[in-house]
Amino acid sequence: MGGWADLLSLRLVTFSEVGLRVDSSDRDVWQTCQSQQLLLLTGNRSMADGNSLEAVVRSGTRDETLPVVTIADPGRVAEAAYRQRCALRLAEIVLDMDLYRGVGRVYIP
């Protein structure tokens, strides 16, 4: 292929593969991702309560924590050009992961 997929060892996993239920709280999802060193990729979410993803990221981020990668406009992932920009930005983040530890959240593209 000759693309990013050939350079990076990335694998998408499901909630069940990492021991989560689909109705798990944002806090449980974030903590599982941190403990298993998984990069969390999500759509743009708001701060609804103290257990919302944004609240968890704000209170739980430390120097060593992985960022939450957030697709700024999830409704546009059906557009090939937008999807490509998201993929390229995600690859940049993965390649320079140590630069992004402790930042909390990174929006792509």
Q: Divide the 109 residues of the chain into consecutive groups of 10 and give the mean pLDDT of each group.
A: 62 93 94 96 77 90 97 94 93 94 96
Distances (CA, A) of 105 to 17, 78, 85, 87: 23, 23, 18, 16
The per-residue pLDDT for 1 is 42
The per-residue pLDDT for 5 is 59
d(CA 82, CA 67) in angstroms, rounded, equals 21
* Beta strands in 6-46, from DSSP E residues, in sequence order: 40-43
The per-residue pLDDT for 94 is 92
Return the closest-CA partner of residue 60 out of 17, 97, 28, 24: 28
28: containing domain: 4-108
- Total structural domains in the chain? 1
* Beta strands in the chain, from DSSP E residues, in sequence order: 40-43, 68-71, 105-108
Q: How are strands ordered across the β-sheet holding 68-71?
A: 40-43, 68-71, 105-108
